[in-house]
C-alpha cells in the first residue's frame, strides 16, 4: 500500500490512462460481440405457399444482406395448403406476410392488415384441366372435382361470373403436386401459371388453362402485407422491411439463375433448375418490372377490384378500408406531383413570372411602353395561361380514357385470339375423338372399303382438315385426303381431274414391304383412277403415334413434312382405345396454307396481323402470307423465324418482347411509324406444344376515334387561343394596319401578284393619299402587263433594267390556234353574242397555256399565238407545250358541250405545235416595242395549225416535237408534208394525249393506243409507196374506227396514188 501511495503524480496519471485503455478495450471486445445481436430486430415473414421462385425476392433480400443492412433478422416461414398468410398476419402470428386481394373481403384481414406493396401486378391463379377431361369452358366445370387452394378470390369471381357455384364444386385437398391431376384424382386444379404448366409441357400432356384475367378479372397477385399494429408501433421497421424486400425482388429478377441455385441449395430441392427458371420467366411477366415500379399499387386499381367483388356479391360496398394501402411520405409527395392540376398551376405561375420579367426587360430596353403594347401583354398574361391549363387538363383526362379503352381492347383481342385458336384446333380434335370412338367399337371395320365414307365425312367436317386417317397397331392404315396443288406436283400419276383421294396399306404379314392401294375421285365417290405401289412406311414408328399411345390423349405434332407431298403439315392424333387397350390412332393433317388462310380470315381488326409461333425455337408456325411463313428450299423444310421474317412489325415486336419479357405492350412500327398494339398469348392448353398467338394491331383500328377527338380538343383550344391572340393583336395594332397594307400592296406589285381586294381607307389624310397613289400605280402596272408578257414585266421590276431593242436565238416551242369556219359563224351570229363566246374561248385557252407556264404572245383575229422557252427556259418546255395544247382542246370540248345545251353554236379548235431554234426578244421602234418570236419555226407552227383542216385533226405536231418527247406522248403519224416557205418534207403527227397521265384533261382516250398502232403500220406502207397495202391497213382502221378522218383522208390518197 505504501508503495502505491508513494507514486508521483505523473506516474499515477500514466497508470490511470493504462487502466482506462484496458477497460475500453474489454468493453469493445464485449460489446463488439453483443451489439449486432442486440441491434438486429427479429421479425417473421409468412409465405403463402411452399418454397419456390414465387418468393425469390425475399430469399434474395436475406442472402444479399438487404434485411441485415436495414437492421432486421428475418425468419422466412414456408406456407402450404392449410396456411392463410393474410390471416396469420391479421391475428399477429406473423409480422409480415404474402397475402392476396382477399384483404378486401376477409373481415379479419380488412380490419387488421395493411398492404405494404404489390409484388405481382397480375394474379397467377388459374384453373388447369387436362384436355382428355373434355372440359372446354369454365361453365363446364359444374359437378367436376376441383383440387382447391385457399385465397383464390379471382378464381371464385371467374367461376361465379360463368355460372359455376364455387361452394358447390366437389373439393379435393390440394397437395401442391400436379401429378394428382395426371393420375385422375381430380378433374381440375387451382394452380399458378408460373408453376404447374411446366410439368405438363415437359410431359407433352395437352391441357387447358382458364385465367380470370381472360374473363375480365385482373386482380393483383401476391402482395406484401403487415398489420396495422406494426405500422403504428414500428413504422420505421415496416418501411425498412418493405424497402429491403423490393430491393431483393429487383435483384432476384436480374439474377434468375443465381436465385434458382439458392432455392435448390437452401430452401427446397423439389423443383429442378429448369423448372425454377420456367417459373422465373413467368413470374417476371406478372410483376412487369419494365412497365411498373416493383411494389407499385394504385388506389384506382384497388377500387376496381373492390367493385368487381361488389358486382359478384362478395362485398357490400366498394369503399376501401381506411389505411389499407400503405403510403410513405415520399410516395405521398410523388403522388401529389403526378396530379396534372398541380403541374398546370405551376405552369400558370411560371408563365406569369416570365411575363413580368419580359415586361421589365422590354421596358428597360425601349423606355416607356405604348398603351397598346402594355394592354396586349396584360391580356396575354391573364388569359393565355388559363387556356393552357384547360388544354392540359382536358388532354390528360382524354389520354387516361384512351389508355383505359386501349387496355380493354387489348384484353378483348387477347381473348379473341384464344377463341380463334380454339376454333382452329377444337373442331378437328372433336371430329377425331368421334372417329376414334367408332374405331374403338370395331377396329376391323376400317379395313373395309365402306369405312372410307366415314373418313370422307370426317375430312369434310372442317375446311382446315387436309387428310384424315386411322392407323392400327397391326400396321393397317387407311386415309382419305384432299388433292391440292402440292399433291399434284409431288406425284405425276395423280389424274388431272382428281379432287379427292383414298388409300390403304395392308397389315403386316411378316415382311416390312407392303402395298399401298391408291384411288382417286373427281366428285366423291366417282373414281377417275387408281394404282398400287410398294411401301415400307410404318405409321407406328412416328413420334406422334407413340406419344398418343403413351399419353392416351390428344397429341399435336409438327410442323413436319407430309410424306406424300414433302410440304409441312401439323398433325393431330387421338388414341383409339378398346377395353383399356391401345389399338391405334385417328389422325388428321392441317396444311400450313390452310392455317395461313385461317389467320387471314380471323383478324382481330381490319389491319391486324396474327401469327402462330413457337417461342422456344423462335420459329413461325403460321403466317397470313404463306410465302413469308414456311417454304421448302433445296428439298429442305425452311421455317421463317421471328427475328428474320420479312415483316418489320413482327421482328420489332419479337425484339421488344424478348427485351422486356412483357406480353402486352405498344410500339411504333418501323415501317410506317404508326402505333401498334402487340399481344403475345399462349395457345389454350398448349396441346402439348409451347405455341403462342402473336396479334399485332394498329391502335387506330380501336381508339382512332378517341385519338381524333383528343386532337380535335387540342385543336379547338389552340384555335380559341389563336382567336384571342388575334383579337388582342387587332386592338393593339389598329393604327399600324394601314401602313402594313400599303407595304403589302407594294410587295404584291413587285411580284405581279396583284391584290384585287379593296383596303379600308385610313382616316389619316397622309396615309389615305399614300393608299390612293399605290392603288393607281397597281392599276397602271396591271394594265401594262396585259399587253406585255408577264415575264418581261416581272424582270423589269426585279432588275430595274430599261427595255431595249434586241433578240437572241433560243430553242423554243410555238403554238398556234384557230377556230374552224369562224368567218361563216361571224356572219350568222350577232356581234355581241359572237364577242361573248370568243371571249370565253380566249379565256379558256389562255388559262390552259398559263397553267403549263406558257406565254401568250398575241391574239390574231380568232387565233392565239403562244410559246414556251422564254423569257424563262425549262427543260420540259416541249412537254409543257403538248400539255397546254391538250388542256386547251379538252376544255374547249367541255365548253362546246355547255354551249350546245344552251342552244349556242360550237367553236371547234385547231392547234399547231412545233419546236425549233428561233429568235426571241424585243422588236419594234424606240417608241413602241413588242416581245415576240420570229423565224422559220414560227412559220411551221402556223402552217401546222392550217394543215388540221386537210386531215380533220385537232392537234397537229411536227416531227421535232415527237423527237423531243416521243416516249412521253401518245401521237400517231399522218404523212410527210411540205409547207409553204420550206423545200424539205417532214412528218407530221396527231397528238392524242400524254402517256402515263391520270389527268382527264391530258390522258388519251380509250383505244387511242390501238388506233396509234394501226396508224403506224399503215403509215409505214404509205411512206414506202406501198399504196395497196397501205389502203388495206387504212380500211382496217375504218373497220375499227368508222369515223376516223385521218384514215379516210389517207385512204383517198392511196386510191388516187394507185390509180395514177
In DSSP notation, 440-505 reads HH-GGGGGSTTHHHHHHHHHTTSTT--EEEEEETTS-EEEEEE--HHHHHH-TTS-TT--EEEEEE
All three cell numbers of 658: 424478348
pLDDT in tens, 777-797: 666 666 555 555 555 566 555
> What is the band of 562 on the pLDDT scale with cuts at 50, 70, 90?
confident
CB 842 within 8 A of CB 861: no
More confident residue, 565 or 62: 62
Mean predicted confidence (pLDDT) in 142-154? 80
- CATH code for 41-121+221-329? 3.40.190.10
On whether the CB atoms of residues 684 and 663 are closer than 8 A, the answer is no
Candidate from 9-18, 246-255, 987-996, 1014-1023 with smallest mean pLDDT: 9-18
Higher local confidence (pLDDT), 3 or 904 = 904
pLDDT band at 708 (very low <50, low <70, confident <90, very high): confident
pTM of the predicted model, to two decimals? Answer: 0.47
Picking from 897, 985, 906, 980, the residue whose alpha carbon sits closest to that of residue 945 is 980
| Peptide bond preceding 525 in cis form (omega within 30 of 0) | yes
Q: How many angstroms from the chain centroid is the CA of residue 127?
A: 34
Give the pLDDT band (50/70/90) at residue 235.
Answer: very high
**CA 659-664-667 angle, 5° bins:** 65
Say which residue, 425 or 374, is predicted with more confidence: 425
Query: Cα separation of 251 and 246, whole Å?
Result: 9
CATH of 802-1005, one of 3.60.70.12, 3.30.70.1230, 3.30.1490.20, 3.30.70.1450: 3.30.70.1230
**Residues 332, 417: Cα–Cα separation, whole Å:** 40
Q: Is the dihedral of CA 645, 649, 652, 653 positive or negative?
A: negative
Higher pLDDT, 391 or 892: 892
Q: Select, from the ranges 146-150, 703-707, 918-922, the one with the highest average predicted confidence (pLDDT).
A: 918-922
pLDDT digits (tens, 9 = 90+) for 621-663: 888 887 777 655 665 656 778 888 888 899 898 888 776 667 7
Chain CA centroid to CA 531, Å: 52
pLDDT digits (tens, 9 = 90+) for 169-193: 888 887 777 778 877 888 899 988 8
CATH superfamily, region 125-215: Periplasmic binding protein-like II (3.40.190.10)
Say which residue, 69 or 828, is predicted with more confidence: 69
What is the residue-wise DSSP string for 75-142?
A: EEEP--TT--HHHHHHTTS-SEEEE-GGGGT-HHHHHHEEEEEES-SS--EEEEEEGGGT--SGGGGT
Instruction: Using the predicted structure, report yes or no on whether residue 159 has a pLDDT greater than 50.
Output: yes
pLDDT at 402: 63
Of the two residues 380 and 855, the one the predictor is more confident about is 855
Cα distance between residue 990 and residue 461, in whole Å: 64
Tell me if 982 sits within 8 A of 940, measured CB to CB: yes
Give me 592's grid cell. Answer: 400450313
Query: Angle at the Cα of 235 (from 234 to 236), degrees rounded to 5?
Result: 95
Residue 328 pLDDT class (50, 70, 90 cuts): low
CA distance 595 to 384: 58
State the Cα–Cα distance between residues 923 and 929, nearest whole angstrom: 6
For 62, 120, 130, 266, the CA distances from 252, given in Å and listed in that order, are 11, 14, 32, 15
C-alpha closest to that of 246 among 13, 45, 66: 66
Percent of the chain with pLDDT over 90: 30
Q: What sections of 234-370 are H helices per DSSP? A: 235-254, 256-262, 273-287, 299-311, 329-337, 340-366
- Report the DSSP pairing between strands 171-173 and 146-148: parallel
Query: What is the grid cell recorded at 996?
Result: 402515263
Mean pLDDT of the region 929-952 = 88
Percent of the chain with pLDDT over 70: 75
In CATH terms, are 41-121+221-329 and 125-215 the same topology?
A: yes
- Mapping DSSP to helix (H, G, I), strand (E, B) and coil, where does residue 961 land? helix
Res 686: pLDDT = 45
Which among 652, 595, 590, 589 is positioned nearest to 625, based on CA atoms? Answer: 595
Q: Are 885 and 991 in contact (CB under 8 A)?
A: yes
User: What residues pair up with 191 in beta bridges, in sequence order?
Assistant: 126
| Statement: residue 476 has pLDDT above 70 | yes
Q: Where are the alpha helices (DSSP H) in 966-1007?
A: none
**pLDDT tier, 880 (very low <50, low <70, confident <90, very high otherwise):** very high
Q: CA neighbours within 13 Å on the CB side: how many for 489?
A: 6
Question: Which of 789-807 are b and which e, b meaning 16 or more Cβ less than 10 Å from the residue's Cβ?
Answer: bebbbbebeeeeeeeeeeb
pLDDT confidence of residue 988? 93
Cis bond upstream, residue 911 (ω within 30): no
Distance, CA of 545 to CA of 560 (rounded, Å): 14
Q: What is the CATH number of domain 423-590?
A: 3.30.450.20
Over range 541-570, report the average pLDDT.
Answer: 76
Cell of 67: 434485411
Checking if the pLDDT of 864 tops 50, the result is yes
The mean pLDDT value of the chain amounts to 80
Is the model's pLDDT at 99 over the cut of 50? Answer: yes
Over residues 28-43, mean pLDDT? 56
Provide mean pLDDT across the span 332-356: 59
| Residue 962 CA: distances (Å) to CA of 218, 884, 1011 | 73, 16, 17
Higher pLDDT, residue 108 or 1060: 108
**Strand arrangement, sheet containing 664-668:** 619-622, 609-614, 692-698, 675-682, 664-668
Strand pairing partners for 696? 609, 678
- Assess whether pLDDT exceeds 90 at residue 259: yes
Beta bridge partners of 505: 477, 516
Lowest-pLDDT choice from 66-80, 442-456, 552-566: 552-566
What are the tens digits of pLDDT across the range 194-224? 888 888 877 767 777 888 877 778 889 899 9
* pLDDT of residue 122 exceeding 70: yes
Measured from the Cβ of residue 406, the count of other Cβ atoms closer than 10 Å reads: 19
The label of the residue with cell 385533226 reads 953
Stretch 1004-1016: mean pLDDT, rounded?
90
Question: Which CA distances in Å does 494 have to 490, 497, 754, 1053?
Answer: 9, 9, 80, 63
What pLDDT is recorded for position 36? 42
DSSP for 205-226, written as a single string: --EEEE-GGGGT------EEEE
How many whole angstroms separate alpha carbon 211 and alpha carbon 204? Answer: 21
Question: Which 3 state secondary structure label does DSSP give 757?
Answer: coil
Work out whether the CA dihedral 624, 625, 627, 628 comes out positive or negative. negative
The count of other CB atoms within 10 Å of the CB of residue 890 is 20
- pLDDT, position 250: 95
Q: How far apart are CA 624 and CA 403, in angstroms?
A: 29
Number of neighbours of residue 997 by Cβ within 10 angstroms: 16
Give the least confident one: 475-479, 832-836, 1001-1005: 832-836
**Higher-scoring residue by pLDDT: 530, 733:** 530
Residues linked to residue 561 through DSSP beta bridges, in sequence order: 568
pLDDT of residue 600: 75
Spatial CB neighbours of 442, under 8 Å, sequence gap ≥ 6: none
- What is the DSSP pairing of strand 692-698 with strand 863-868? unpaired
Contact (Cβ atoms closer than 8 angstroms) between residue 463 and residue 585: no
Decide if 217 contacts 161 (C-beta within 8 A). Answer: yes
In Å, the largest CA–CA distance within the chain is: 171
Q: Which of 89, 302, 119, 303 is closest to 223 using CA atoms?
A: 119
Mean pLDDT of 975-993: 87
Reported confidence tier of residue 351, pLDDT bands at 50, 70, 90: low
Question: Is the distance from CB of 88 to CB of 287 less than 8 angstroms?
Answer: no
What residues does each domain of the chain span?
Answer: 2-38, 41-121+221-329, 125-215, 423-590, 802-1005, 1006-1060
- What is the spatial distance between Cα 124 and Cα 298, in angstroms, rounded to a whole number? 19
Tell me the C-alpha distance between 980 and 943, whole Å: 8
> What count of residues does the chain have?
1060
Does the pLDDT at position 480 exceed 90? yes
pLDDT value of residue 16: 47
Residue 991 has pLDDT above 90, yes or no: yes
Amino acid at each position: 500500500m505504501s508503495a502505491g501511495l508513494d507514486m508521483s503524480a505523473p506516474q499515477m496519471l500514466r497508470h490511470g490512462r493504462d487502466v482506462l485503455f484496458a477497460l475500453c478495450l474489454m468493453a469493445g471486445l464485449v460489446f463488439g460481440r453483443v451489439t449486432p445481436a442486440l441491434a438486429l430486430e427479429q421479425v417473421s415473414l409468412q409465405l403463402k405457399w411452399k418454397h419456390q421462385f414465387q418468393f425469390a425476392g425475399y430469399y434474395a433480400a436475406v442472402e444479399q444482406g438487404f434485411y441485415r443492412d436495414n437492421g432486421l433478422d428475418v425468419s422466412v416461414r414456408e406456407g402450404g395448403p392449410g396456411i392463410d398468410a393474410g390471416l396469420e398476419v391479421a391475428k399477429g402470428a406473423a409480422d409480415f406476410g404474402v397475402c392476396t386481394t382477399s384483404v378486401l373481403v376477409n373481415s379479419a384481414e380488412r380490419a387488421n392488415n395493411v398492404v405494404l406493396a404489390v409484388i405481382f401486378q397480375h394474379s397467377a391463379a388459374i384453373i388447369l384441366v387436362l384436355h382428355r377431361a373434355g372440359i372446354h369452358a369454365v361453365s363446364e366445370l359444374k359437378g367436376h372435382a376441383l383440387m382447391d387452394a385457399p385465397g383464390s378470390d379471382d378464381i371464385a369471381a371467374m367461376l361465379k361470373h360463368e355460372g359455376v357455384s364455387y361452394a358447390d364444386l366437389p373439393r379435393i385437398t390440394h397437395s401442391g403436386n400436379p401429378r394428382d391431376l395426371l393420375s385422375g384424382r381430380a378433374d381440375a386444379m387451382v394452380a399458378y401459371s408460373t408453376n404447374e404448366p411446366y410439368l405438363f409441357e415437359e410431359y407433352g400432356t395437352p391441357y387447358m388453362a382458364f385465367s380470370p384475367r381472360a374473363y375480365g378479372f385482373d386482380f393483383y397477385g401476391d402482395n406484401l402485407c403487415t398489420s396495422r399494429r406494426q405500422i403504428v408501433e414500428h413504422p420505421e421497421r415496416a418501411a425498412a422491411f418493405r424497402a429491403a424486400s423490393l430491393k431483393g425482388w429487383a435483384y432476384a429478377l436480374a439474377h434468375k439463375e443465381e436465385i434458382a441455385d439458392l432455392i435448390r441449395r437452401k430452401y427446397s430441392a423439389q423443383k429442378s433448375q429448369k423448372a425454377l427458371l420456367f417459373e422465373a420467366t413467368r413470374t417476371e411477366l406478372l410483376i412487369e418490372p419494365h412497365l411498373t415500379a416493383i411494389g407499385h399499387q394504385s388506389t384506382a386499381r384497388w377500387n376496381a377490384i373492390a367493385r368487381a367483388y361488389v358486382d359478384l356479391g362478395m362485398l357490400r360496398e366498394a369503399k376501401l378500408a381506411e389505411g389499407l394501402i400503405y403510403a410513405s411520405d415520399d410516395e405521398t409527395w410523388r403522388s401529389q406531383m403526378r396530379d396534372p392540376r398541380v403541374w398546370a398551376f405551376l405552369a400558370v405561375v411560371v408563365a406569369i413570372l416570365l411575363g413580368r420579367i419580359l415586361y421589365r426587360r422590354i421596358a428597360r430596353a425601349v423606355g416607356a411602353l405604348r398603351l397598346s403594347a402594355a394592354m396586349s401583354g396584360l391580356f396575354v398574361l391573364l388569359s393565355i395561361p388559363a387556356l393552357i391549363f384547360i388544354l392540359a387538363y382536358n388532354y390528360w383526362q382524354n389520354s387516361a380514357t384512351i389508355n383505359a379503352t386501349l387496355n380493354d381492347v387489348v384484353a378483348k383481342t387477347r381473348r379473341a385470339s384464344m377463341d380463334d385458336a380454339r376454333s382452329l384446333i377444337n373442331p378437328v380434335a372433336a371430329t377425331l375423338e368421334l372417329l376414334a370412338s367408332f374405331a374403338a367399337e370395331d377396329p376391323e371395320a376400317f379395313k373395309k372399303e365402306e369405312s372410307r365414307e366415314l373418313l370422307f365425312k370426317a375430312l369434310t367436317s372442317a375446311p382446315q382438315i387436309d387428310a384424315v386417317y386411322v392407323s392400327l397397331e397391326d400396321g393397317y392404315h387407311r386415309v382419305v385426303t384432299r388433292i391440292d396443288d402440292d399433291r399434284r406436283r409431288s406425284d405425276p400419276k395423280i389424274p388431272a381431274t382428281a379432287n379427292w383421294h383414298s388409300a390403304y396399306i395392308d397389315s403386316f404379314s411378316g415382311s416390312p414391304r407392303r402395298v399401298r392401294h391408291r384411288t382417286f375421285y373427281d366428285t366423291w365417290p366417282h373414281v377417275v383412277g387408281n394404282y398400287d405401289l410398294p411401301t415400307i412406311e410404318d405409321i407406328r414408328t412416328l413420334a406422334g403415334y407413340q406419344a398418343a399411345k403413351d399419353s392416351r390423349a390428344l397429341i399435336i405434332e409438327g410442323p413436319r413434312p407430309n410424306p406424300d407431298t414433302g410440304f409441312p403439315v401439323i398433325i393431330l392424333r387421338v388414341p383409339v382405345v378398346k377395353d383399356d387397350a391401345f389399338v391405334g390412332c385417328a389422325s388428321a393433317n392441317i396444311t400450313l396454307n390452310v392455317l395461313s388462310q385461317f389467320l387471314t380470315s380471323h383478324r382481330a381488326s381490319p389491319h391486324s396481323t396474327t401469327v402462330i409461333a413457337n417461342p422456344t425455337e423462335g420459329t413461325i408456325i403460321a403466317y397470313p402470307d404463306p410465302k413469308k411463313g414456311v417454304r421448302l428450299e433445296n428439298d429442305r423444310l425452311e421455317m421463317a423465324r421471328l427475328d428474320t421474317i420479312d415483316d418489320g412489325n413482327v421482328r420489332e415486336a419479337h425484339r421488344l418482347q424478348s427485351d422486356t419479357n412483357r406480353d402486352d405492350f405498344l410500339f411504333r412500327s418501323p415501317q410506317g411509324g404508326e402505333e401498334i398494339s402487340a399481344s403475345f398469348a399462349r395457345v389454350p392448353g398448349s396441346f402439348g406444344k409451347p405455341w403462342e398467338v402473336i396479334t399485332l394491331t394498329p391502335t387506330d383500328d380501336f381508339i382512332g376515334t378517341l385519338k381524333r377527338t383528343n386532337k380535335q380538343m387540342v385543336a379547338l383550344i389552340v384555335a380559341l387561343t389563336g382567336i384571342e391572340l388575334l383579337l388582342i393583336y387587332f386592338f393593339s395594332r389598329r393604327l399600324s394596319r394601314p401602313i402594313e397594307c400599303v407595304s403589302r400592296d407594294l410587295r404584291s406589285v413587285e411580284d405581279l401578284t396583284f391584290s384585287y381586294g379593296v383596303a379600308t381607307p385610313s382616316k389619316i389624310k397622309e396615309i389615305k393619299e399614300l393608299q390612293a397613289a399605290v392603288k393607281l400605280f397597281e392599276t397602271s402596272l396591271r394594265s401594262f402587263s396585259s399587253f406585255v408578257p408577264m415575264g418581261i414585266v416581272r424582270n423589269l421590276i426585279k432588275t430595274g433594267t430599261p427595255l431595249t431593242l434586241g433578240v437572241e436565238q433560243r430553242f423554243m416551242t410555238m403554238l398556234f390556234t384557230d377556230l374552224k369556219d369562224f368567218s361563216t359563224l361571224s356572219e350568222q351570229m350577232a356581234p355581241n353574242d359572237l364577242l361573248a363566246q370568243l371571249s370565253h374561248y380566249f379565256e379558256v385557252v389562255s388559262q390552259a397555256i398559263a397553267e403549263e407556264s406558257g406565254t401568250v404572245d398575241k391574239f390574231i383575229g380568232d387565233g392565239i399565238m403562244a410559246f414556251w422557252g422564254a423569257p424563262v427556259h425549262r427543260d420540259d418546255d416541249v412537254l409543257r407545250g403538248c400539255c397546254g395544247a391538250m388542256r386547251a382542246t379538252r376544255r374547249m370540248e367541255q365548253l362546246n358541250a355547255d354551249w350546245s345545251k344552251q342552244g349556242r353554236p360550237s367553236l371547234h379548235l385547231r392547234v399547231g405545235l412545233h419546236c425549233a431554234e428561233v429568235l426571241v426578244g424585243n422588236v419594234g421602234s424606240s417608241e413602241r416595242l413588242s416581245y415576240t418570236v420570229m423565224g422559220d419555226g414560227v412559220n411551221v407552227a402556223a402552217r401546222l395549225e392550217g394543215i388540221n383542216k386537210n386531215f380533220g385533226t385537232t392537234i397537229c405536231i411536227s416531227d421535232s416535237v415527237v423527237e423531243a418527247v416521243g416516249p412521253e406522248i401518245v401521237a400517231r403519224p399522218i404523212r410527210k408534208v411540205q409547207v409553204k416557205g420550206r423545200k424539205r418534207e417532214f412528218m407530221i403527227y396527231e397528238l392524242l394525249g400524254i402517256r402515263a397521265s391520270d389527268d382527264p384533261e391530258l390522258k388519251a382516250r380509250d383505244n387511242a393506243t390501238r388506233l396509234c398502232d394501226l396508224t403506224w403500220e399503215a403509215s409505214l406502207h404509205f411512206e414506202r409507196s406501198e399504196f395497196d397495202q397501205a389502203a388495206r391497213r387504212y380500211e382496217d382502221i375504218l373497220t375499227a374506227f368508222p369515223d376516223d378522218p385521218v384514215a379516210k383522208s389517207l385512204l383517198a390518197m392511196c386510191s388516187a396514188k394507185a390509180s395514177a
